[in-house]
Amino acid sequence: MAWPQNGRNLVSVEQAPGVIETVGNAFVLLNKKPYLLIPPVLLDLFLWLGVRLSLKPLTDTLIRWLGSSSSVDASSIDRIRNAGTSFNLFELLAISMPTFVARVGADAIAGASSWTIDSLAWWLMLPLSIMLFLAGIAIGVFYLTLLGFLVRSERLATWPVLRATAQNVLRTYGYLLLLLGLVLLILFPLLMLSGVLLAFGISIVGLITLVLVFAAMWAYVMLFFAQDAIVISNAGPARAIYLSYNVVRSNFWPCIGLIVVSMTLQIGTPLALVAFTRTPWAVPLAFIAHAYILTGVAVATMLFYRDRAMKLRASRLPAAPDRTS
């Protein structure tokens, strides 16, 4: 039986490429438009050569508050101080984009900028962190939206890209808020139960921690394609969860294979490129290679989702009437 085309290039069970073939197809697509590597490379260059925003004002204030307490040991104070001097708040801009500097750390890269802003008021650190986090999400969504145009074979034009990015950013914010609400909805009764049992001398903290770890792993797998659903299927927050869950549920082991390949490349690629960080002249090559491999992985994830989502949609459409009789 043939699937009804209905104006779309629907993918049947036999036609859906496997994980390795999908990854190969992703790099073939990316090779046609290599300029899509520009966003992660530019962000890497900024994190490498640009100004750094230190947490030192906040950590110094925290150390002064803790200094009056005799229960805080010197090693804890040193860890807080090191966090204040080493962490760059601007790395929050890379929270949803594959950047080499955020993976390796600017301090481990030759020629990294030492220009640091560390004289702001301590109370500005939290609002700045929130703003940079939201900006990082928006930058990452813009990058994924560009890849979405590539996967859908649509022409990249300024206004369509900006309009789609704005919609996807709002949907992503809504998705994150929905996830936060679900997490709080699950955590609150568990913490209440733990507190009540603890009052009777029964501790279930270890059990709750184990349950939450397994729940987080299950949620990561089931929601792996939620962002792709927002970008490729123009789905809202709740529908993105629904689509991701159904794609994973219907293609569990292929999805696990893709997740394993994705995580292996995300973890292994920076480690393999560390050799390029020893001299400033080779660092840009690491940025380009990292952006190319991880962008290819992102495109592969979108292709994998698109093919399986189309297959699921095709299976729910009514069969075309047989007019041969």
Percentage of the chain lying above the pLDDT 90 cut: 70
pLDDT at 190: 87
pLDDT at 321: 54
**178-184-187-192 Cα dihedral, nearest 10 degrees:** -150
Mean pLDDT of 217-237: 97
Break the chain into its structural domains and give their ranges.
Answer: 19-316
Mean pLDDT of 106-126: 91
- The C-alpha atoms of residue 123 and residue 107 are separated, in whole angstroms, by 26
- The C-alpha atoms of residue 208 and residue 277 are separated, in whole angstroms, by 42
Would you say residue 122 has pLDDT above 70?
yes
Q: Give the residue, 321 or 21, on which the prediction is more confident.
A: 21
| pLDDT band, residue 316 (cuts 50/70/90) | low
Mean pLDDT of 43-58: 94
Percentage of the chain lying above the pLDDT 70 cut: 90
Strand 52-53 to 116-117 pairing: parallel
Do 144 and 168 touch, CB atoms closer than 8 A? yes
State both tokens at 208. 């709750």
Residue-averaged pLDDT of the chain: 89
pLDDT at 177: 97
Would you say residue 267 has pLDDT above 80?
yes
Mean pLDDT of 59-71: 76
Would you say residue 55 has pLDDT above 50?
yes
Mean pLDDT of 96-111: 93
Would you say residue 196 has pLDDT above 90?
no
Q: What is the number of residues in the chain?
A: 325
80-84, 259-263, 297-301, 305-309 — which is least confidently predicted? 80-84
Q: Which helix (H) or strand (E) holds 260?
A: helix 252-272
Query: Which residue, 271, 251, 269, is CA-closest to 19?
Result: 251
State both tokens at 238. 């709740």
Would you say residue 70 has pLDDT above 60?
no
pLDDT at 21: 95
pLDDT tens by residue, 8-26: 444 444 567 899 999 999 9
Do 54 and 117 touch, CB atoms closer than 8 A? yes
pLDDT tens by residue, 142-190: 999 999 999 999 999 999 999 999 999 999 999 999 999 999 998 898 8
Distances from the Cα of 210 to the Cα of 200, 204, 213, angstroms: 21, 10, 5
- The C-alpha atoms of residue 124 and residue 58 are separated, in whole angstroms, by 9
63-72, 265-274, 276-285 — which is least confidently predicted? 63-72
